Structure 1
């Protein structure tokens, strides 16, 4: 486990800045980072201990086509606005994680523009994977997943590694507490293994987490030297098992999750800026609380995508601007939110409070106690402490085994014969409970 000690208590509130302030797509507002500052107390009251920011650097459109990693996107302000946001967050005890896109750059990046202007002799020509034509003309270049506006970097070039180290350390010196490394899965692990130790040499307490969707998570963490990666396997199992009434899938995913925890603590989530929002992904809104119970009772470093704590809806679509619905502008402040979202916000507060009172959950393992298609009871423990979690997506009330459970900590439930080997828990339809156990 290489992560900094402070991460054990981290709960992230994730914000996609360009959308949040109404800068992309244009949605009103002044488009400055101080609009996020106005929400920091709201994040604190939610229970968050950190602000996970999406892209804030100069880009051409959505932030992931960076044109200058050392300049704040003018649509968000400038250095003064960034410094003020960092100061305001730190004054409240909030850590700040930045989003670094180092797999590719936008076509407008100076390094690629030099190639277009100077040709093969450009000093940055080796920064990219280029195929030059026999005659005059623009070279062909490798892209990120076929997007011509995203020019893939050549991660075998030492100057690219130097550049990434310089960018990462620059913003850590400016007050950032770590980095989310975008599309980390598309970058050779060996590149990260060269870059990240150089960053840690100056900033040993920086948290470095990579976006990885599929594959062998533990191997990638080991080879890349990252602290963690995004736990997409568990994200998928949560919504899929709830939608299909198939807790066997979730039980299997939790076993996999245990294996990951032997190597690193995954970054866990039920929603982010790249996927359909939880309230839209789940077919039955009564299942949203069950997804949150899972997020906050299993091992991991959890994050909440801004708006999910209010039950925001939004469907990601596979088309141009297909992310817009999940990246909407926010009002000027929390007082302008609709009233119907506050019950789910208060449930977030309740479950984050549970996690705060049981910090050992960060590295805890789970084991299945009782399993059926529509019901699951699992134990979560660090070896010294133990909780039982009972979930049901059934349409009727149900009674489930909960051996040695002695108290209902959270949820609408009733215990029968508490504190004994025969203890059972009664759940209502679509019910859940967190139980203190001996």
Structure 2
């Protein structure tokens, strides 16, 4: 079996095991299964895997982007790539939330519902846009890398790449070294991906086992509409955008994105999925590193199609629950606020609920209403992260195609860049050669 089949099988088994534990009432607090399996083995293995992916994000983005800038051939191209990516991310976000509002309002979800909740939600202040823009330039790049501040890392990496270009031929050795480090990082990602089926099983099993299905039934209208809109955006809207702006077919795109989508679904984090998305976009879809190294981390930070859909559907749902008539003006405000908030809250943890509290405040909805949907947000977050990652890949392909930075032979080859277990196989001859190199270096000393 190839990796995709193994990962999908792990996900399916995780759902089955999670449902058995949940429906069988075996996940009660203090029980052996809860202590040693769900919050024990499943939690530990899943968390270790997510940490391993997060471990790769900063060095991979840093080295990959420096290589991309150095190999771009035309520094003006970087400005065009950034402009096109930004506009496409904003447009798809606006389309996403408008679709969510339109479908949720037409179906009238939440009307006549007397839902009660014990969950409390306190709105958090998001940083003003001016502060986000100021923080793009890190006062301490090492601290920015330690904190995983993606916009700051992107800025520093681009500046490093430009600096190396300005130094010229004297920097050749450094550029070759950085390219080698980038290749090493990609191999490390392959090692982590080889363990994915087992980790995905644990992550999904824990999530499903912990999710109260009674709560899911109570909020069934909200959950089904949100999932429906997310899937519509993934399989219809994004594919139409891909076809219109690049002329490329969506069938092969969706087939090649399956791995990255499952990783995103399992981790619920666009940032944690960056290593897998970057590998998929470059090696499977044929986007040159000079484009993907910028568009993928940039998209993981500001592209929030899935989150924007949640804003729209949740706003309609809570407005109907509390019998608040927002009207056309209110819904237009929600769309504008969500698009602006996706920039202003870039890189802030728990960004979805922060954005939602900002939107609620702006249109006069009670923030405590968010407590109604908190219980099911974990499951829905998994789906919308998969949509976000797919949006990043669509924009990367479109921008690369428009700049002649897309290898169509790779894109159209269904087997191109497919994960091979040989990628993580240690060659005995290579091991002996490396040992001899190290030994000779020590002996020389």
**TM-score of Structure 1 vs Structure 2, range by shorter chain:** under 0.3
| Structure richer in strand, relative to its length | 1
Higher RCO (Cα < 8 Å, 6 or more apart): 2
TM-score by length of 1: 0.25
TM-score by length of 2: 0.25
